[in-house]
Amino acid sequence: MSYLDRILDDGTVRERWQESRWPVIGASDAAKLSKASSLPSYLRAKLSRESFHGNEYTASGHRWEPMMLAWAGIPQNVALFHSPQEVGFACTPDGIKRLPGGRLQLAECKAKHGRIVEGPTLGEWRQLAWQFLVFPEADEIEFLWVELVNGEMRTPEPKHLTVHRDDPKIVDLTAQVLPIATELLSMLRVALTYERKSA
């Protein structure tokens, strides 16, 4: 099965893409999965279905993302893909580039406002680990970011870090997040089944 056969939604209609994310665990969900004791709150957050329409920071991210991807030479992606092992594990990488031999390079873009950073936050590391889980075809993710001061880039070019699948942080966080995500998905499916029956 090609990764293109695993598209849950092509991302061309925001509301439809958002609806496709409700019953799955996405990378933004995985970014928050730090401890099993918080599973009830994670489930409540998923079931709340509060549409997040963005703010000035997300708008800024959308503004800078195409530039970062163009700089890195990685095509933009808006489609939601599921894992070959579990349709309930999914993500929408900001960029996907096909490499020789059928492998993939992913990209994740961030806009940092008024901050100088050296790389991903812990939540962003979880997000990257999740993308590797969903995309076994990928061996590396280009993490790109711009540091913005008064809406303008602090440096002439985006900053970047190439994260590899075998990075110790990725390996450790995958082992931590996967059991929590597996339990959360099971709880979510039970709750959604009950919700449908009660409707």
Range of the domain at 34: 3-198
Q: Which amino acid is at 136?
A: P
pLDDT for position 50: 60
Total domains in the fold of the chain? 1
pLDDT for position 51: 46
Write the CATH number for 36.
3.90.320.10
pLDDT for position 1: 76
pLDDT for position 54: 46
174 in Cβ contact with 151 (< 8 Å): no
pTM attached to this predicted model: 0.91
pLDDT for position 147: 93
Largest CA distance in the chain: 56
The full DSSP string for 174-190 is HHHHHHHHHHHHHHHHH
106 in Cβ contact with 165 (< 8 Å): no
The model's pLDDT over 144-162, given as tens digits with 9 standing for 90+, comes to: 999 998 888 888 899 999 9
Task: Write out residues in the chain with pLDDT < 70, as ranges.
Answer: 49-61, 197-199
